Amino acid sequence: MTPTYLFTSSRLGFRLWRDSDLPSFSAMNADEEAMRYFEKPLSEEESKAMMERMNKLYDDRGHCYFAIESLETGEFIGMIGMGWKTFEADFTPCVDIGWRLDKRFWNQGFASEGAIRVLEYAKEMGIKEVYSYASSSNKASTKVMEKAGLAFIKDFELEELKNTPRLNPCSLYKITF
């Protein structure tokens, strides 16, 4: 099957989620190392539900955390895209950008390349500002935010992580177009 991409970067294809993504996505989400900056690894059922939420978010808002794959090999790499955050904070509701890559693809510039392309897509859509946040201890993610042009705003306590204190505080970044 020839992939249908919504858009591409030099090495990545961005697309909606397919049922055939579940084994790779679920394995990535179950990996302790890949999920160390999240509350817990996800089950296959949780991964499937997330894929379904992302496709619905795309239908509703025109963006989501997209499935990404290598243009060269067609391999599933992970997800990079935009979500819609509504938890209670002084910067929500907001569009946020995020990523999660299979660890086989870490340290190859894919997250930065993909984040830059997603921000271009946001601008094309007429989105005026995009936020991103991660555990302040997640230096790899905050480095991607900076490489993609987002500016540090502040550190904050994320209420939904109150039972996982190792992940707080979080660092908030923002870009305005």
pLDDT tens figures, 93-146:
999 999 999 999 999 999 999 999 999 999 999 999 999 999 999 999 999 999
The residues with which 155 forms a beta bridge, in sequence order, are 171
User: What does R_g of the chain's alpha carbons equal in angstroms?
Assistant: 15
The answer as to whether 131 is a domain residue is yes
- Using DSSP's 3-state secondary structure scheme, residue 94 falls into strand
Which CATH number do you get for residue 46? 3.40.630.30
**Domain that includes residue 101, residue range:** 7-176
User: Is 0.85 topped by the overall pTM?
Assistant: yes
The answer as to whether 2 is a domain residue is no
- Using DSSP's 3-state secondary structure scheme, residue 41 falls into coil
- What is the spatial distance between Cα 173 and Cα 156, in angstroms, rounded to a whole number? 11
The answer as to whether 115 is a domain residue is yes
**Cα 113–72–102 angle (5° rounding)?**
60
The answer as to whether 138 is a domain residue is yes
The answer as to whether 64 is a domain residue is yes
Counting the structural domains of the chain, the total is: 1
